């Protein structure tokens, strides 16, 4: 049932809430900032630390449960459960690292699992907010890409919060912030969550939202530049960090107020334009002696607004056969979990994600050890994490580019979203091969980290809309969480590979340094050899990911072409209502 009245304001409030939740929920991105603290407290090897990263990602394997919860439970219950899991998981880790508790490795592993599961539940709540507030595909994709992009800014925001505190930004501070900040933000997002509590609580879309989305994306770009350029300056002074944090807070409030102002300006200009058009029409009728084509106008209006079930579009939806082996014939067809797992296109999508964006996530988890092995720990790690976070933010924001230009692009020149997905992943193998050949260079390390962040961020954000388009909007909460179940698998395999090569490099000779935790030892590898082999393997793996994504594009290109061609034909025939519905 479409909402009426003040639904327009609630729609933008829901988008602002999704932005805030995503900005607070990216707690996995600051793992490098506190991983050294966990490693020291446990006295663990690099393989042991990798196990904790895998545990955090394993929470995504249970993410499908959040999709079911969003379908059958009120949305505030989903966000509340996510906040509770985050509070328990990160809260216990904070007590352990700060020295208030003594825990076994297995217990810490479970807390990482619970904390990782909370991220999936937060993501599902955001997907539900955006899909219910913006039902049409193009506006839904714009809302999703905008909100998901702020997930990439989480590490920079948490770095500001940690630096703005009364003490130094030690690892335990990050864990405390990870436990409390999402809880506070969930409470702030409660009103829109109540508004869109059930799957039937949707808004009627507005045809004039493109300008608002364009402005919001510009504000988001400004936020990313602000965080990328200024966050490194926060490490030296708490006062500077507080000032920068206040500026970031103002930027995060813009999605609340900007749409209202922009919509009001648009309505004023639209009213003046409509009045001018009415005056011109009256003058024309008077000049022609009152003759008008009322009958023709009414017929045209009927054609514009009355669905014709016998149209070519509906016949196409009902009887078009599948061309090729298990290729998708149409976009948006709902897939149950069982049907999804039988699709060749899904497994190409799954492997492309597993061998692409997931590798980028594992790379970010290892940034602390990569910087340390090259003698760039401390501020060097902070800089790398900040660059990856900001570029991941920009990559997610770039994923909305196809939708922002779609209104001006000719249908026969538009590229399928799966094509954009493959193009976004293509730079990643190049970056890893460059790291393998010259990773010890500070410039190469920074540039390649930026490229990996951009590429993985693009895929993370675009994948949500791809899942909805290929396998159905109503099932996206479950199906997308099935897709991202590849993340714990990739985290285990790629992280274990990196850990084995890292520990092998450390045994080759160099440093065995004491760390905290009651005199226990942690092995530290120093030198370019610690990760060179890992980078080569990751370059080969991401090449496979690009190949699978390209194959997915070739298999789905026909379905997208049919969709674009059908829209073009409908527009030529004047059937505007359907074109607006799918815009």
What pLDDT is stored for residue 378 in this prediction?
62
User: Residues 352-365: what's their mean pLDDT?
Assistant: 90
Mean pLDDT, the chain, integer? 75
Number of domains making up the chain: 1
- 152 — pLDDT class (breaks 50, 70, 90): confident
What pLDDT is stored for residue 355 in this prediction?
93
Contact 131, 73 (CB under 8 A): no
User: Residues 406-434: what's their mean pLDDT?
Assistant: 78
What pLDDT is stored for residue 507 in this prediction?
60
What pLDDT is stored for residue 184 in this prediction?
93
- 518 — pLDDT class (breaks 50, 70, 90): very low
What pLDDT is stored for residue 241 in this prediction?
81
Least confident of 44-58, 204-218, 349-363, 421-435: 204-218
Q: What CATH number is attached to the domain comprising 382?
A: 1.20.1250.20
What pLDDT is stored for residue 353 in this prediction?
93
- 434 — pLDDT class (breaks 50, 70, 90): very high
User: Residues 354-374: what's their mean pLDDT?
Assistant: 86
- 177 — pLDDT class (breaks 50, 70, 90): very high
Identify whether 320 is part of a domain. no
What pLDDT is stored for residue 265 in this prediction?
59
For the ranges 402-416, 508-522, 527-541, the one whose mean pLDDT is highest: 527-541
Is 284 a residue whose pLDDT tops 50?
no
3-state helix, strand, coil in the chain (%, to 5): 80, 0, 20
Identify whether 306 is part of a domain. no
User: Residues 66-86: what's their mean pLDDT?
Assistant: 86
- 394 — pLDDT class (breaks 50, 70, 90): confident
Identify whether 381 is part of a domain. yes
Is 413 a residue whose pLDDT tops 60?
no
Identify whether 301 is part of a domain. no
What pLDDT is stored for residue 519 in this prediction?
41
Is 473 a residue whose pLDDT tops 70?
yes
**Helical packing angle, 379-398 and 442-471, nearest 10°:** 30
Identify whether 269 is part of a domain. no
Is 238 a residue whose pLDDT tops 80?
no
What pLDDT is stored for residue 509 in this prediction?
44
What pLDDT is stored for residue 306 in this prediction?
35
Cα(91)–Cα(519) distance, integer angstroms: 25
Is 150 a residue whose pLDDT tops 90?
no
Contact 164, 242 (CB under 8 A): yes
User: Residues 10-22: what's their mean pLDDT?
Assistant: 86
What pLDDT is stored for residue 295 in this prediction?
42
- Long-range contacts at 137-141 (CB < 8 A, ≥ 24 apart): 137/332, 137/465, 137/468, 137/469, 137/473, 137/582, 137/583, 138/403, 138/406, 138/582, 138/583, 139/205, 139/209, 139/213, 139/583, 140/465, 140/468, 140/473, 141/400, 141/403, 141/465, 141/468
- 26 — pLDDT class (breaks 50, 70, 90): confident
What pLDDT is stored for residue 262 in this prediction?
65
Identify whether 294 is part of a domain. no
Percent of the chain beyond pLDDT 70? 73
Identify whether 286 is part of a domain. no
User: Residues 291-317: what's their mean pLDDT?
Assistant: 38
What pLDDT is stored for residue 446 in this prediction?
87
Is 448 a residue whose pLDDT tops 80?
yes
Is 305 a residue whose pLDDT tops 60?
no
Between 397 and 232, the higher pLDDT residue: 397
Cα(403)–Cα(405) distance, integer angstroms: 5
Identify whether 332 is part of a domain. no
Q: What is the pLDDT of residues 322-343, one digit of tens each?
A: 334 567 777 777 888 888 888 8
User: Residues 165-183: what's their mean pLDDT?
Assistant: 87
Q: Which residues lie closer than 8 Å to 109 by C-beta, 6 or more apart? A: 51, 52, 55
- 200 — pLDDT class (breaks 50, 70, 90): low
Domain hosting 169: range is 2-198+207-257+337-581
Is 243 a residue whose pLDDT tops 80?
yes
């Amino acid at each position: 049932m479409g909402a009426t009245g003040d639904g327009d304001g609630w729609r933008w409030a829901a988008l602002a809430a999704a932005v805030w939740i995503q900005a607070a929920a990216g707690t996995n991105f600051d793992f490098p900032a506190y991983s050294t603290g966990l490693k020291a407290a446990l006295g663990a090897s690099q393989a042991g630390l990798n196990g904790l990263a895998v545990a955090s990602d394993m929470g995504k394997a249970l993410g499908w449960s959040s999709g079911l919860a969003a379908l059958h439970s009120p949305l505030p219950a989903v966000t509340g459960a996510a906040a509770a899991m985050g509070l328990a998981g990160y809260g216990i880790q904070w007590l352990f690292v700060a020295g208030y508790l003594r825990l076994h490795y297995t217990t810490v592993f479970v807390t990482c699992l619970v904390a990782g599961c909370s991220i999936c539940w937060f993501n599902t709540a955001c997907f539900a907010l955006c899909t219910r507030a913006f039902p049409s595909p193009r506006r839904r994709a714009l809302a999703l890409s905008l909100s998901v992009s702020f997930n990439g800014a989480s590490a920079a925001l948490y770095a500001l919060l940690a630096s703005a505190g009364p003490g130094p930004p030690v690892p335990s501070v990050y864990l405390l912030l990870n436990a409390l900040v999402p809880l506070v933000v969930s409470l702030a997002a409660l009103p829109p969550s109540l508004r869109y509590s059930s799957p039937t609580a949707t808004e009627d879309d507005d045809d004039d939202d493109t300008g608002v989305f364009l402005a919001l994306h510009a504000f988001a770009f400004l936020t990313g530049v602000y965080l990328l350029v200024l966050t490194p300056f926060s490490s030296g002074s708490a006062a500077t960090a507080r000032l920068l944090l206040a500026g970031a807070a103002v930027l995060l409030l813009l999605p609340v107020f900007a749409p209202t102002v922009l919509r009001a300006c648009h309505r004023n200009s639209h009213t003046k334009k409509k009045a001018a058009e009415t005056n011109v029409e009256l003058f024309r009728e008077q000049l022609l002696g009152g003759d008008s084509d009322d009958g023709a106008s009414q017929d045209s209006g009927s054609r514009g607004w009355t669905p014709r079930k016998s149209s070519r579009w509906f016949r196409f939806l009902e009887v078009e056969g599948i061309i090729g082996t298990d290729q998708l014939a149409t976009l948006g067809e709902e897939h149950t979990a069982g049907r999804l797992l039988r699709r060749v296109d899904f497994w190409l999508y799954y492997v492309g994600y597993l061998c692409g964006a997931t590798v980028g996530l594992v790379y970010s988890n290892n940034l602390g050890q990569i910087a340390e092995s090259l003698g760039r720990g401390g501020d060097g790690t902070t800089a790398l994490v900040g660059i990856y976070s900001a570029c991941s933010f920009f990559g997610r924001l770039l994923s909305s580019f196809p939708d922002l230009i779609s209104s001006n692009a000719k249908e026969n020149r538009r590229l399928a979203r799966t094509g954009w997905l493959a193009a976004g992943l293509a730079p990643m193998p190049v970056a890893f091969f460059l790291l393998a050949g010259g990773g010890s260079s500070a410039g190469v390390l920074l540039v390649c980290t930026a490229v990996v962040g951009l590429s993985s961020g693009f895929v993370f954000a675009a994948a949500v809309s791809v899942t909805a388009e290929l396998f159905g909007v109503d099932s996206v909460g479950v199906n997308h969480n099935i897709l991202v179940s590849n993340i714990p698998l990739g985290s285990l395999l790629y992280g274990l590979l990196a850990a084995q090569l890292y520990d092998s490099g450390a045994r080759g000779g160099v440093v065995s340094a004491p760390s905290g935790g009651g005199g226990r030892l942690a092995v530290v590898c120093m030198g370019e050899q610690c990760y060179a082999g890992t980078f080569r393997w990751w370059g080969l793996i991401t090449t496979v990911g690009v190949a699978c994504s390209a194959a997915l594009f070739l298999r789905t290109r026909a379905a997208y072409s049919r969709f674009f061609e059908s829209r073009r034909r409908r527009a030529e025939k004047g059937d505007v209502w359907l074109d607006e519905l799918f815009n």
